[in-house]
Amino acid sequence: MRVGLLSDAHGNLLALEAALARLGPVDALWVTGDTVGYGPDPSDVLALLRERGALLVQGNHDLAVATGEGLAWFNEHAAAAAELHHDWLSPLERDALAALPRVVASEGFTLCHGSLRDPLWEYVTSGGAARASLELAGTPHGCVGHTHIPAVFVVEGGATRTERPRDGDVVTLGGRCLANPGSVGQPRDGDPRASCAALDTTAGTITFYRAAYRVDETQRRIRARGLPDFLADRLAYGV
């Protein structure tokens, strides 16, 4: 089974379309949260993922946009965008985001946005944090998002190895691992291209991809819709 793994699309429709095109045909799409927040097209991004039958989990931005919960923890730009998105989305769309599960298991993988210790808010950036999260999973493997940086934490005996995959890299999952596909809509690893990955559940591998898209057009839409300039500027640098 080939599974497209996406995270942190953040209302960036052009980036999502590029990522889906780069992935090509998949048997399933899994999305580890933050479908909305930051970008110019939250409603279109949510609609496209639902149309594609994606399995979505809730991220901290999804909850904040839907209900206002957690807004106090956001920086000013993130909070301004979340409040605008709240107003742009219909009550039905907000209800759908509010009702998303925070943890879901499928095909031997447990999906959440942050970590199994704190599904909405913890940033897993170290082998120790990845291991602690996996210990709470009822499956061999896990998928997370939230950091906007692609990574695979592979548990091997007593040690945890951290891979920082680039475009085209294939990582073997091994016995236990936690994978983060990076961010579709707002990458923060210095590469502005949309980040995504594909799991091959039969071969036990994950392949990472980057997809170029019209960053300038997303920036234009961000400014045209009255979102903070900073959210447009950062997309050019992937930070």
4 or 39, CB closer to Zn ion?
Answer: 39
Q: How far is the CB of 154 from Zn ion (least distance, A)?
A: 23
Q: How far is the CB of 163 from Zn ion (least distance, A)?
A: 21
Residue in the structure block whose two tokens are 């709470």: 136
From 3, 8, 42, 63, residue interacting with Zn ion (rule: CB under 5 A): 8
Q: How far is the CB of 202 from Zn ion (least distance, A)?
A: 30
| Residue number with the smallest Cβ distance to Zn ion | 34
- Touching Zn ion, residues 32-51 (CB under 5 A): 34
Task: Tell whether residue 189 is a contact of Zn ion (CB under 5 A).
Answer: no
148 or 176, CB closer to Zn ion?
Answer: 148
42 or 160, CB closer to Zn ion?
Answer: 42
By CB under 5 A, name the binding residues for Zn ion: 8, 34
